[in-house]
Amino acid sequence: MADNLTGFPQYADWVTDFCSTSKHPFVRDSARMISYCFELEQQLPERYGWRFCDEDALKRRIESAGSPSELNRIYWLDQARNVEAYAVMTFWRGTELLRPAIRSLNVHEVIAPAVVARSLLELATVFILNANTIESAMRMVEGTARSMGVEISG
């Protein structure tokens, strides 16, 4: 079992040995992928202040916009902040699930890490579906803007 329950959980020696002999690159390189995941987590803030407007605040800000350009800026900034918050929260949820999966696997448990791994797959699937929806919407906005002769920077 991992010695440090609050840090990066590492594979037990038996898991490392098993994975290192696998022909499948996802299995063979999984320890490195997991370490990379936790390294990314360290780059995120410990606390996240979700900087979005509730509906009433957004309406007030939009009503006070002095120009269509300012209105667009207010709207898209709020949307970008929502996407950012969703990404950060989803990543945190994923690493929170990953830790006990590794710890359980290290002590030769089977059911708990399998259930947690399924939750991780479901989380990743929903994230990918939402990312595809957002990308599709952005492509539509970009296409509409270009057809109207508006240049999009970003």
pLDDT digits (tens, 9 = 90+) for 69-103: 898 888 888 888 889 999 999 999 999 999 999 99
pLDDT digits (tens, 9 = 90+) for 27-37: 999 999 999 99
Distances (CA, A) of 33 to 44, 74, 95, 136, 144: 17, 38, 12, 28, 39
Residue type, 48: Y
Q: What is the pTM of this model?
A: 0.80
**Residue 7: per-residue pLDDT:** 64
**How is the chain classified by DSSP, letter by letter?**
--S-SSS-----HHHHHHHHT-SSHHHHTHHHHHHHHHHHHHHS-SS-------HHHHHHHHHT-SSHHHHHHHHHHHHHHHHHHHHHHHHHHHHHHHHHHHHHHHTT--HHHHHHHHHHHHHHHHHHHHHHHHHHHHHHHHHHHHHTT-----
Tell me how far apart the alpha carbons of residues 48 and 44 are, in angstroms, rounded to a whole number: 9
pLDDT band at 151 (very low <50, low <70, confident <90, very high): confident
pLDDT digits (tens, 9 = 90+) for 111-144: 999 999 999 999 999 999 999 999 999 899 888 8
Question: Quick one: average pLDDT of 58-75?
Answer: 88
pLDDT band at 149 (very low <50, low <70, confident <90, very high): confident
What's the whole-number average pLDDT of the chain?
Answer: 89
